[in-house]
Amino acid sequence: MDKKEEEKLLREAEKVLPRAYAPYSNYRVAAAISTEDGKIFTGVNVENASYGLTICAERAALFAAVSAGYRSFSHLVILSDGNGTVPYPCGACRQVLMEFSPDLGITVTRDKDRLIRISLRELLPYAFG
């Protein structure tokens, strides 16, 4: 992952983080995903009183990109507001991301000082496919 591209994705995720809707968990998450040609799409978590209807930031960003016609992605950044855990993608997000980009690089952070870089294949070694 190019450091400049990663920094740009971090900035874009940071811009949308305040838009997260998390009245139940108070755990705000934002994501920015880049297409193979450098287009960036963002998303935030949107909770619901019926918790199973909540959508994660990663899928929100991916679905926005897919809705715009993109199917292949190079990198994903996930940023939380720092209240607790590092925002690794949940199992559902991992499987959905795998559908489109098995070689996706992922950066996660909760405080922007400590970036954790990992591949989607490392997070989901036995994906459905």
Provide the annotated active-site residues: 58
**Do residues 69 and 59 lie in contact, with contact meaning Cβ atoms separated by under 8 Å?**
no
Q: How many CB atoms lie within 10 A of CB 91?
A: 9
Beta bridge partners of 114: none
Question: Distance between CA 57 and CA 18 in Å, rounded?
Answer: 12
DSSP labels, 45-71: -B--SSGGG-B-HHHHHHHHHHHTT--
